[in-house]
Chain A
Amino acid sequence: MTKTTKTAIGLLALYAAIPGAVRAQADDDELLLAPAAESAMSLKFSGFADLEWARFFTNGDPRWKGRGIPENSAFSVGNLNLYMDGRLDKNWRSLIEIRFTYLPAGVALQGQSDPLSTGTGFYTDTQTYDYAQLRAKTQWGGIVIERAWLEYRLHQVLTLRAGHFLTPYGIWNVDHGSPTIIDIAPPFVIGQELFPRSQVGLELYGSVFLGSRARLGYHATVSNGRIGHNPAYVDLDSKYGWGGRFFLELGLGAAGELKLGYSTYGGRNTDRHQGLEVVAAPVNGTEVGVLVPKTTTWTGDEWDQAVDAKWELGGLTLQGEYFEQRLRDEQRTVVIGSGASAVTSSTRQDPYWRRGWYGLVGYRLPLAIMPFAVYQYISDSRADWQHDSTQDAYEWTLGVNWRVRPNVVLKASYSYAWWPRTQQTLENKDPLKWLATQVAWAF
């Protein structure tokens, strides 16, 4: 027996000793450029990230400071999201998406004053020695759980999902990632969260084909409700949030493809914030200021509705979304002090609404270059416009989006926003203009 023959027999014996399932997987891997068979358990890492550079033309107007408008242009890694997609079985799937951020990194809470007038807030020193690298320093940073769910698929018409999921509404919130969305910044109606961005609870979804050219789908959700300012794992009012969505996709042959959707959400949101308040108190016969705990609780019911439409014909994309949020029974309760000496005050907000929409048109040219334009609007029925600087706002954006690779997108845009009612009453009456660029990639 030659040495070669002995080696071959040895290899065959070794092959025979490998369990059948492992061997089958290895055989599949030879057949596939992208491994993993449908029945095998697998874990896949992917994600997306983007780098942005923006320049706001504020003419050095100090009134923009403290309103979220950076004084200086800067590069920033905006999103760095990692997906862990686990195929647990033929019917079980898990998705965990986490976003790595630079926050808190010493950023003060929004609304606090800026004693040094340094820009959009004030910062505390967050540098500390890096326990992993001698003589090096590092900064605080955080991780945001964007999604974490497990789903069981019974049929194309019924999948049950449990966990932390993105609220299934409209187009933008579902598209979600910077490589997929066309513009750089989300529209007001998305940024202002007229619907909750994500929820923790249960979701049912599915779709059915109506003939070969139409698909009708649905989502139904029940959750803790809007996550708001408190952690996602608490529900301060024990009232669930209920929501749903219907969508219809139509293949129109030579007229392209049309998608229509209707979404709704209703629920109570309760937020609680604790801080300190200086109150006057007699000490040895003299009134002095002392710090006492202050608890502020907001609660209110909301009912949100939205419609969306997207039409694609060749290189042309037209899409729009309209949102309306109605709020009632909104109450703000402040408790200053504790125990028997606590002082409670309560104010009630009249029912009000917020509504807005955007329209986007883009045309894909050769080399995957897409010029686009966006026009958007948001309004609020409250008389008190100090609630937020971006209410009753209009904006148009012109931009270009170049998908240099299927997973790499370069974007540039110029935006112009104005606040007609604010111009008459409050500060910041000048329109805001800015230039933004972004490279976004999926991996």
Chain B
Amino acid sequence: MRTILKVALAASLALAAAPAVAEPIAVIVNKDNPRSGLTVQEVRSMFLGRRTEWPDGTPAQPFDLPPAAPGRAVFIEAVAGMKPERFAEQWVDQQVRGAGNALKVAASPGAAVKLVAKFRGGIAFVPLSAVTSAVKVLILDGKLPGQRGYPIPEIR
């Protein structure tokens, strides 16, 4: 029994000591979307329901992720500038005002990629590893995910 405990402790210490794998968060849009980059403020206004369409008139359709999805809290704090609870309140408030709730919740990062690939006005955020060739990764404030100065911190 003591040996098992020692092994478990050693494994835990080894895991704790291992360098955390950092993963960037990508903001993705439909491949037919002519935009290749946005500012963080533009993404923010879309995810807060204030900017409701793209410059060519296509309705913007932001996709959120489930509350426990990796990177969601990091994205909301970096882009919307608020805690996830406050972000949820903003959408409840929008609904009570009668502005509707345009934010749809994708079941997973993979689902978000498929939805963005399907809807021309779609925009979502996913861990970079979930991105496929079906969607386009946006440049944010002039930086690509993983580049120094990219405005959204990496998931650790």
Contact = CB atoms under 8 A, between A and B. Distances in A.
Contacts of B119: 37-38
Given A175-B93, A176-B98, A33 B106 contact: yes
Contacts of A176: 96-98
Contact of A179 (B50, B96, B107): B96
Contact of B96 (A38, A153, A177): A177
B85 A215 contact: no
Contacts of B107: 30-33
A175 B89 CA distance: 13
A327 interface: no
Contacts of A177: 96-97
B104 to A, nearest CB: 5
A245 to B, nearest CB: 14
Contact of A406 (B59, B85, B97): B85
B96 to A, nearest CB: 4
Contact of A93 (B42, B85, B100, B106): B100
A147 B85 contact: no
A63 interface: no
Nearest to A441: B92
Interface in A352-405: 368, 403
A142 interface: no
Contacts of A34: 103-105
B143 interface: no
Contacts of A207: 50
Nearest to B90: A406
Given A31-B111, A32-B111, A85 B52 contact: no
Contact of A212 (B39, B86, B93): B39
A267 B74 CA distance: 50
A321 interface: no
Contacts of B100: 85, 87, 93, 95
B66 A215 contact: no
Contacts of B97: 174-177, 180
Interface in B98-125: 98, 100-101, 103-107, 111, 114-115, 118-119, 121
Nearest to A31: B111
A406 B92 contact: yes
B51 interface: yes
B92 A249 contact: no
Contacts of B51: 156, 209, 215
Nearest to B66: A33
Contact of A213 (B41, B104, B115): B41
Give chain A's interface residue range (CB within 8 Å of chain B).
35 or more
Contacts of B10: none
A34 B107 CA distance: 8
B32 interface: no
A33 B92 contact: no
Nearest to B93: A180
Contacts of B91: 406
Interface in A20-39: 28, 30-34, 36-38
A46 interface: yes
Given A46-B95, A175-B97, A180-B96, A209 B104 contact: no
Contacts of A249: 50
Nearest to B53: A156
Contacts of B114: 31
Given A175-B97, A179-B96, A442-B95, A36 B104 contact: yes
A101 to B, nearest CB: 18
Nearest to A364: B86
A212 B39 CA distance: 7
Contacts of B132: none
B45 interface: yes
Nearest to A176: B97
B53 A155 contact: yes
A218 interface: no
B11 interface: no
Given A174-B97, A177-B96, A179-B96, A31 B106 contact: yes
Interface in A167-183: 174-177, 179-180
A271 interface: no
A435 interface: no
Interface in A59-96: 83, 85, 87, 90-91, 93, 95
25 contacts: A28-B115, A31-B106, A31-B111, A31-B114, A32-B107, A32-B115, A33-B66, A34-B104, A34-B105, A36-B104, A85-B100, A95-B98, A97-B98, A153-B59, A156-B52, A156-B57, A166-B98, A175-B96, A176-B98, A177-B96, A179-B92, A209-B51, A212-B39, A212-B45, A368-B85
Interface of B: 39, 41-42, 45, 50-53, 57, 59, 61, 66, 85-86, 88-89, 91-93, 95-98, 100-101, 103-107, 111, 114-115, 118-119, 121
Interface of A: 28, 30-34, 36-38, 44, 46, 48, 83, 85, 87, 90-91, 93, 95, 97, 147, 153, 155-156, 166, 174-177, 179-180, 207, 209, 212-213, 215, 249, 251, 368, 403, 406-407, 442
Given A403-B85, A442-B95, 5 more contacts: A32-B106, A34-B104, A38-B59, A97-B98, A406-B91
Which 6 A/B pairs are nearest by Cβ-Cβ distance? Answer: A177-B96, A406-B88, A212-B41, A31-B111, A33-B105, A212-B39
